[in-house]
Structure 1
Amino acid sequence: MAKAYNKVSTGITGFDEAIDMLRLGDNVVWQVDNVLDYKGYVAPFVKRARKEKRRIVYMHFGQHEPLVDDPEIVWYDLDPDQGFEAFSTRVYDIITEEGKEVFYVFDCLSELLEYWHSDLMIGNFFRITCPYLYELDTVTYFALLRNRHTYATIARIRETTQVLFDLYHIKNNYYVHPLKVWERYSSTMFIPHKSTMKEFTPVTASADLAEIFSFTSIQAERKDYWNRLFDEAREHLYLNEEQQEKMKDRIILLMIGRSKRINDMVKKYFSLAELINIQNRQIGTGFIGGKSIGMLLARKILESQTEDPFEEILEQHDSFYLGSDIFYTYIVQNGWWKLRTRQKKMAGYFPLAKELKEKMLGGAFPEVIREQFQQMLEYFGQSPIIVRSSSLLEDDFGNAFAGKYESVFCVNQGTPEERYTAFETAVKRIYASTMNEEALSYRLNRGLSDKDEQMAILVQRVSGDYHDDFFFPHLAGVGNSSNLYVWDQGIDRNAGMLRLVFGLGTRAVDRIQGDYPRIVSLDRPEQSPLVDYQDEAKFSQRNVDLLDVKANQWTDRSLEKVLSLDLGTDPSMFAKPDHKTNQRMKELGFKDRRQYILGFDRLLKESAFPAWMRKMLQTLERVYEYPVDIEFTANFDKEGDFRVNLVQCRPLQTKGPGEPVAMPKTIDETNCLFHFTGNFMGGNVRLPLDYIIYVDPKAYMESSLEDKYATARTIGALNSKLKDDTVMIMGPGRWGTTTPTLGVPVNFSEIGNVEAICEMSYNIGGFMPELSYGSHFFQDMVESNIFYAAIFDGYPNVVFHPQRLLERENLLVTLEPSAIRLSEMVRVVHADGLEIYSDIISQRVLCQ
């Protein structure tokens, strides 16, 4: 249905006649050499609108002189320094609140370059604002400074706006040259007009036109403001140190971020030339994100150390960085900004996220971005790469976002077209993961739901080598510089710890069915971790994550299969024969089958690897003045020498061990709920409980898959309803697993309000807790201040009396009536005075 075109005056009679008036819905863009020239044409427009008793709104954000001074005009002060999303959302909300047929005057849009540093974002702002103003039958004046923006930006604005004028001020005369006047035409409309406040006369004589245009020119392609700034930065390399430091400040603010603590370290450790080199490997504009910054900063800190020559053991990297502005451009380009704005409101925060996520998996990128993607892929050739989230808030002090966003391996095989499609799909998956429920809950719980969370992306070459048809590193893992959750009273928590796996590091950060990484305390790396499991083979890594080059996919293989490959180094550094199992297999007639235990014994006892990792973690903690969490890989040669690839570093969110707790002098082991030594995380606590949620292991084991998932959702509902109470949850196996046969498959958001978690072994069902040091689950527990204990029921010196809970009234149906069918499996009871005590010195934990 066509819009009803009501005519509106510019305030200049001759001007109105020349362009056949303005229309409701028109966005009017003025290209000017000086904002004061623009102001001269704002004045009659506002004066006429006031005479017609129109509602006029002034959007003020520029540093230039205000364009209006009438007290009857509605004035909004906007702060573009808050970032593109906050600014654009505020403008969108104002337009929504003001409603239909309002007249607007905007400050010069070129002023926004001083805050956003990117023509791309100016175009994005116009693309989302202009159509909404048109939809509401407004008339709006905008201005741009001529020759300040790229032709691509001007083209996007010309395509979107209804009216575009060039305004020239030549020899004390004003000339207006209409370039676009939508759905209006006359034989002289699109030639320059000599303009006064009364007359508007077309300039038709060729001599006069030639004289006018002799003062103007068509320039060669203009560089983006971002690129012009970095050209200026390169010129500063030849200036003195003081001038270089000032330029560093500018670059850090526009490329690194706004965390003062991180920025101060970047300024200290990076030269201007090094910051420029980072930008040389950037695609698009904007911030490179927390994960990229953490990786680069940690590497630079280590490389600058003279006492410990880390450069000798560090593997080089050649990463690329997708700037955060691409994320918003992708949303704007595909027409999803209105949906994004609605999703940011609490009413649509969760309900609209699914729709936006699905759309983000299927959009298109601008051609200029696609070409840069292609050039980067040509650089990597067919080397495997990993595409990793690197959001603005990620890996900062206070917010790790561990595991909340996706990382995607691209094996990078096939034709150039196939490799490009796989990469673009990976980028879309990471963008879509910003709408994951876990990520949304994390931001909401930490008061970040209204913050700009642009998604930058880190593209890294996968560390490792080809072994037949497979590609993987020898080692991967995570490391924590402060081991607050020690499992033995003799361990030095300041020495740090590792969570170590063979192959790709996915098994180090995720809880994998049937597999257990090697936990290493770096002061005593050879010590067996955690608890006497009785069967060393049962609680070790059994499968190896790797990239299958032939199948062009991420997959896994059995340890025995991988150890049979030519690893290029001595496999006995990592694995040893499982003599007990091999003897049994031999007795059964399987003489050619060999089983191994992946305990890394020789690596930890005989190599320099643990010592270097300890020094690395301690160095980073000293510089950060804060505990750190790293991710790494390591590769070995035939002589056993190794290189470590540091792929991530972030502040480790930790609350410290806490003050010593006075344990009860007398312990009634016949009547307490549980009592044991070791196998807990959370420091010293004394925690009085209000409620205990208990999942019965036997009933859970015997339940259907449907009821296992229903149990998880019921826990989530209880977590919400009891959020103001002190709650401990207890259940079989692994909380948060994706495999219901291994434990309760809750999302972390469904248990994020509890104060304590107990995982219980249940030998008949095969349930076995796994202490989560270094995993994403671990990070979530630490950041949420959740106390954790693993109860190995039936093991020596472990006291556990679940009947204390079974004999109490079950409040499940009272709190969650819809869960009545689960009442034999899920119990909610009043704690009736039960308290948790723990002491990290004696390693004792008690609930009585």
Structure 2
Amino acid sequence: MFIDKNSKKLPVDLGDAIMGNFGFGDFVIKDPDTGKEIMRLSTLKDLQKHVFEIPAKSLYYHASSNDISRWLYSRAMFPIAEVMKMHRFCSLDEADAVRQLIFDLIVKYRKMKNRGVVAVFQKDRFDHYSNFARIGQGSLGGKGRGLAFVDSIIKKNPVCDHFGGVSISIPRSVVLCTDIFDEFMAENNLYQLALSNASDREILEAFLEAKLPVRLIEDFFALFEVVDRPLAVRSSSLLEDSHYQPFAGIYATYMIPHVKDPYRMLKLLSDAIKGVYASVFYADSKAYMNATRNVIDQEKMAIIIQEVVGENHGYLYFPSFAGVGRSLNYYPTGDEQAEDGVAQVAVGLGKYIVDGGASLRFSSRHPDKVLQTSTIELALRDTQRCFYALGNDISSGFDVDDSFNLVRRNISDYAGDSALDLMVSTYDADNDMLIDNNLGHGRRVVTFANILRDKAFPLAPAVDFMLTQGQQAMGRPVEIEFAGVINDSNARRAGADKGHIYWLQIRPIIDRKDMVEDTVLNASDDRVILRSNTALGHGAIDAIDTVVYVRPSDFDSAATRDIAAEIAHINAEFVRQDRNYILIGPGRWGTSDPALGIPVKWPEISAARLIAEASLGDYRIEPSQGTHFFQNLTSFGVGYFTVNPYSGDGIYDTDYLDAQPAEYESAHVRVVRLSAPMPIGIDGRRGIGVVLKPTDTQDNTTIPNI
């Protein structure tokens, strides 16, 4: 290449030479025989789109001359350029493989570049490889920040691309920042109605009639061209998932089905966004704001528009599973430790778990030891029987209830369907056993046995990875949300990936109610009513001034059925009065064998906020540690103590309780109401629990009887 330095247009000639020979201009694909231009590529996206159209001879020519790597180097795309420069294109027969190599390198590079970055949404650049973008200049909100944090963790851990045969990522997401909310509220003059005492329905209708900023329309159409799945429209307020205030779950999340008509899709998405905005001002939200001493008109709402994880199954859409995990387990059983973490998982949408359904609880470090499936009786009684899915009918319009278009289905409705493969077992009633497959005519039981015990899908290791990495990155215990899709058996047998796990959210576990003062836990023995060294639960339990206990001095193991009936009657009265109590008794609470303890059912002790098993001198039964009510304990945050004062394991001051006036008393049971609430604290990490005597004990004879 030569340039005349005496030319009057030397700068122009030099610029043309650099652009044409050093890769700084367009990539011009030429016919090596004639030198004629075949096509011109301006961007990496162009190369990805047209690489399979480049003739083999031209591809061989440019690759052999390092033209491709030079063009990539000039754009600072060093990882791809290095690989292309090192690759040796030896013959035309390799053309198809080289095209695929270039395509795969570009895809991997674009995914890598997009991870951990909240890009500004540009409608002409947003495509299938865009992962996380924002519209607006305001805050991302609490959930938006959490999602960006998760994306940064994934970027730092390349193992997420192939984690035991699955990939871990966040769903494709776009955030409408808080300035869009401010503009919407101001332009439609909504604050006066929103802050009034109008009903939730009136507020929602007013918001649905309002107009979003017009400039969003083209952005939404660009989004629809890329996303071909249902969308979740999630709240992401400034206060949600904050480090100091538990605002998660206060505002609405709507899901909308995917429809082919972009204008219909625009209407659905717009109404869902307005519905989330309206939920900021619903009565429950205002009440919660007042309770947490926040000012509602200072709350700002961002919106996360996110692909719903799942697949179509007929007219329903749902993921294989959804779950939540916590890096601290305050109800460890067996060999589990508090630091091992705990997860709950269920078939279908996560609403089942949010609503307190019988999800499967497991420790990600002990996945083969699941209490709920440890016996046939527990598996049939305490496992999931139904699930939630997204329907495609939304003709009735939006409702204050954000689950108005979700469909509830029985697990049995999908018996034999591949949607339940690996997650269910079949009950063989003739032999009273579970068979770990989705075949036959027996009842389907959600056990996840093929996944947790047989490791057919790396759910437990993935949950442990997310909890461990999340806690390390955040510097404190965390709670996560996740969902996943398991590929069908044909795809797995063909060597395809086992599926995909989507990491949906992360938030710190910080709740001031969890803080237990050392002065409570370390109180001297003379101040203690109960002390347990094997306590389940965590935190302070407030406003409990009543103890219901089985009289140790008159206990008769032959009368446990009568005692159970009596306690059920007492509990019903507590429920009617909206009161709670501490329940103490010998042996195992909830056992089906009356010889081993008090055979109550959960509804018969549902008002208890702390339950204690206390051994007696001549009645020492191996403690159950709450296994009979484990699902209820964890769902309602009930504490559970095991005390054996006769072997020096804990304290149970029966003399103190016997000395207090009884609110109710029979041959077997006493109810004692003290003059003030008892300080109660549980340290879930150490398994220590304490109930202290009130500091001001007075005579209680004036308290009305139960």
Q: TM-score range by the shorter chain?
A: 0.5 to 0.7
Give me the whole-angstrom Cα distance separating, in 2, the residues matched to 1:550 and 1:594.
32
- Is 1:548 equivalent to 2:371 in the alignment? no
The offset of 1:297, in angstroms, is 1.7
Partner of 2:180: 326
1:26 is aligned to none
Cα distance in 1, alignment partners of residues 659 and 204 from structure 2? 46
The whole-number CA distance in structure 1 between the counterparts of 2:199 and 2:316 is 41
Distance in 1 between residues matched to 2:116 and 2:543, nearest whole Å: 56
Q: Which amino acid aligns with 2:537?
A: M
- Number of equivalences: 487
Q: Structure 2 vs 1, CA of residues 495 and 598 (structure 1 numbering), >3 Å: closer, same or farther?
A: same
TM-superposition CA deviations, 1:179-204 (whole Å, max 9, x none): xxxxxxxxxxxxxxxxxxxxxxxxxx
Question: C-alpha separation between the residues in 1 aligned to 2:372 and 2:287?
Answer: 32
Residue by residue over 1:78-121, the C-alpha shift from the partner in whole angstroms, topping out at 9 and shown as x without a partner, is xxxxxxxxxxxxxxxxxxxxxxxxxxxxxxxxxxxxxxxxxxxx
Q: Secondary structure at the match of 1:644?
A: strand
- 2:403 pairs with 1:560: no
Match of 1:573 in 2: 422
How far off is 1:625 after superposition? 0.8
Distance 1:531 1:664 in 2: 41
Aligned residue among 274, 278, 281 for 1:432: 278
Structure 2 partner of 1:502: 347
Alignment of 1:661-810 (within 5 A): 661=521, 680-683=536-539, 690=545, 698=569, 715=578, 757-758=609-610, 770-771=631-632, 788-789=638-639, 807-808=662-663
AA paired with 2:426?
Answer: P
Distance in 2, matches of 1:270 and 1:624, equals 23
Per the alignment, do residues 493 and 530 of structure 1 end up closer, same or farther by CA in structure 2, a change over 3 Å counting? farther
In structure 2, the partner of 1:87 is none
2:504 to 631, 639, 647: 647
Residue aligning to 2:361:
519
Question: Which of 464, 481, 503 is the equivalent residue of 1:631?
Answer: 481
The reply on whether 1:386 has 2:232 as its aligned counterpart is: yes
Counterpart CA distance in 1 for 2:454 and 2:679 is 44
Asked whether the 8 Å contact 1:468–1:565 carries over to 2, the reply is: no
AA aligned to 2:223 is M
Q: Deviations over 1:111-168 (max 9, x none)?
A: xxxxxxxxxxxxxxxxxxxxxxxxxxxxxxxxxxxxxxxxxxxxxxxxxxxxxxxxxx
Q: In structure 2, what residue type is equivalent to 1:650? A: R
Equivalent residue in structure 2 for 1:529, among 343, 358, 371: 371
Deviations 1:802-837 (A, max 9, x none): 999994289xxxxxxxxxxxxxxxx99545685546
Q: Do the aligned residues in 2 keep the contact of 1:477 with 1:509 (CA within 8 Å)?
A: no
CA distance in 1, matches of 2:373, 2:523: 22
State yes or no: 1:597 paired with 2:445: yes
Asked if the contact 2:234–2:254 (Cα under 8 Å) also holds between the matched residues in 1, the reply is yes
In 2, the alpha carbon distance for the partners of 1:619 and 1:356 equals: 41
| 1:597 Cα deviation from its structure 2 partner | 1.7
Distance 1:743 1:464, change over 3 A: same
Amino acid at match of 1:598: V
After superposition, the C-alpha distances for 1:214-247 in whole angstroms (9 at most, x for unaligned) are xxxxxxxxxxxxxxxxxxxxxxx99xxxxxxxxx
CA 1:306–1:666 in structure 2 vs 1: closer, same or farther (change >3 Å)?
same
Distance change (3 Å), C-alpha of 1:576 and 1:272: closer
Contact persistence 2:233–2:304 (CA under 8 A): yes
Point out where structure 1 has 5 or more consecutive residues left out of the alignment.
1-236, 239-268, 586-590, 719-726, 734-741, 761-766, 779-786, 811-826
Query: Are 2:203 and 2:282, in contact at CA under 8 Å, matched by a contact in 1?
Result: no
Task: Report what 2:150 is aligned to.
Answer: 298
* Pairwise CA distance, 1:325: 2.0
Following superposition, the deviation at residue 768 of structure 1 comes to: 6.6
**Aligned pairs for 1:64-213 within 5 A:** none
Q: Quick one: distance in 2 between partners of 1:666 and 1:579?
A: 55
**Structure 2 counterpart of 1:547, which letter?**
L
* Superposition deviation, residue 440 in structure 1: 2.7
Check conservation: 1:357, 1:435, Cα contact below 8 A.
no
Q: Which residue matches 2:141?
A: 289
Contact 1:270 1:300 in 2 (8 A): no
Distance 1:667 1:490, change over 3 A: farther
Distance 1:282 1:834, change over 3 A: closer
Report SS of the residue matched to 1:439.
helix
CA separation in 2, counterparts of 1:576 and 1:758? 34
Q: Secondary structure at the match of 1:412?
A: coil
Aligned match of 2:211: 364
Cα distance change of structure 1 residues 615 and 359 upon mapping to structure 2, 3 Å threshold: same
Distance 2:379 2:569 in 1: 26
Q: Which moved more, 1:322-331 or 1:659-668?
A: 659-668
What displacement does 1:663 show?
8.8
Distance 1:270 1:532, change over 3 A: same
For the residue of structure 2 that corresponds to 1:536, the secondary structure is helix
* TM-score after normalising by structure 1: 0.48
- Give the structure-2-normalised TM-score: 0.57
What's the C-alpha RMSD, in Å, of the aligned pairs?
5.2
Q: 1:287 is matched by which residue type in structure 2?
A: S
Structure 2 vs 1, CA of residues 370 and 308 (structure 1 numbering), >3 Å: closer, same or farther? closer
Say whether the 8 Å CA contact 2:537–2:682 is kept in structure 1.
no
Specify the alignment match of 1:53 in structure 2.
none
Match of 2:39 in 1: none
Distance in 2 (CA, whole Å) between partners of 1:520 and 1:804 is 43
Alpha-carbon contact 1:575-1:601 (below 8 Å) kept: yes
- Give the % identical residues: 21
Distance of aligned partners of 1:412 and 1:678 in 2 relative to their CA distance in 1, 3 Å threshold: farther
Is the 2:311–2:318 contact (alpha carbons within 8 Å) kept by the matching residues of 1? yes
Retained in 2: the 8 A contact 1:314–1:645? Answer: yes
Secondary structure of the equivalent of 2:299? coil
How many Å separate the matches in 2 of 1:846 and 1:743?
A: 24
Judged with a 3 Å threshold, the aligned counterparts in structure 2 of structure 1 residues 594 and 759 are, in CA distance, closer, same or farther, namely farther
Query: Which residue of 306, 324, 332 corresponds with 1:487?
Result: 332
Counterpart of 1:142 in structure 2 is none
Letter in 1 for 2:459: F
What is the CA deviation profile of residues 398-422 of structure 1, one whole-angstrom value per residue up to 9, with x for unaligned ones? Answer: 2341210111111234744443333
- The answer as to whether partners of 1:488 and 1:530 remain within 8 angstroms in 2 is no
Q: Measure how far apart 1:691 and its partner are.
A: 6.3
> In the alignment, residue 450 of structure 2 is paired with which amino acid?
R
2:472 counterpart SS class: helix
Q: 1:665 offset after TM fit, Å? A: 7.1
Give the distance between the partners of 2:531 and 2:385, measured in 1 at CA.
32
Task: Work out the CA distance in 2 between the residues paired with 1:331 and 1:688.
Answer: 41
Deviation track 1:761-805 (CA, whole Å, cap 9, x = no partner) reads: xxxxxx9774475x7xx7xxxxxxxx732699xxxx9x9x99999
Aligned residue in 2 for 1:56 = none
1:374, CA displacement in angstroms?
4.4
Q: Report the CA distance between 1:273 and its aligned residue.
A: 9.9
> Cα distance 1:804–1:300, how it changes in 2: closer, same or farther (>3 A)?
farther
Unaligned residue ranges in structure 2 (runs of 5+): 1-74, 77-111, 124-132, 396-404, 550-565, 584-588, 591-601, 613-627, 643-648, 666-670, 694-706
TM superposition shift of 1:458:
0.5
Alpha-carbon separation, structure 2, partners of 1:437 and 1:828 = 38
Q: Please tell me whether the aligned partners of residues 691 and 831 of structure 1 are also in contact (alpha carbons under 8 angstroms).
A: no
Counterpart secondary structure, 2:147 = helix
The separation in 2 between residues aligned to 1:525 and 1:272, in whole angstroms, is: 30
